[in-house]
Amino acid sequence: MTATVLNDVHVPTRYKLAAMWTSVMFCFIYADYFELYVPGKLQSMLAGKILPLGEVTQGVLMGTGAMLALPSLMILLCVILKAPLCRWVNVAIGALYAAIQLAVISRGGWTFYVAFGALEATLLALIVLTALKWPAAARAGESARS
């Protein structure tokens, strides 16, 4: 029996980062969607409450929206920013959101929500590590082409 040799291609770091941000966003969306099935969640929403923030206001919704918009934009920014800036933006934003996820899951909650939070924190840590390990030659070459 002959071994099959698989042809593999080099995936640029920026595309790996964009893919990881996409995975993070899917986890955010599914965790929040599944949370709607937690008993009492919909009643709280209908009563105009967002736990643990309290009353729903335009400011609370704008802040919450902005928190989700930034990771969404990171998918695009990974592709369009010049390599050195892309690297440091991923390190900073990835570390910030990993810390936020760890704070959220440290409060506890339903198992699925903690599991999604742990997965999100892991993906965010991988984003930071991938950006930090971005090969210098690739960064220089991508900067020259950008």
SS3 28: helix
Q: What is the domain partition of the chain in residue ranges?
A: 13-137
SS3 50: strand
Cβ-contact 98, 27 below 8 angstroms: no
Task: Express each pLDDT in 98-144 by its tens digit.
Answer: 999 999 999 988 999 999 999 999 999 999 999 999 988 655 555 54
Q: Residue 8 to residues 5, 11, 33, 47, 70: CA-CA distances in angstroms?
A: 9, 9, 36, 53, 32
Integer Cα distance of 130 and 83 in angstroms? 13
Q: Residue 104 to residues 109, 116, 132: CA-CA distances in angstroms?
A: 9, 11, 25
Give residue 46's pLDDT.
87
Which residues does 40 contact at the CB level (< 8 Å), separation at least 6?
none
Q: State the average pLDDT over residues 1-29.
A: 92
Give residue 146's pLDDT.
44
Global pTM? 0.85
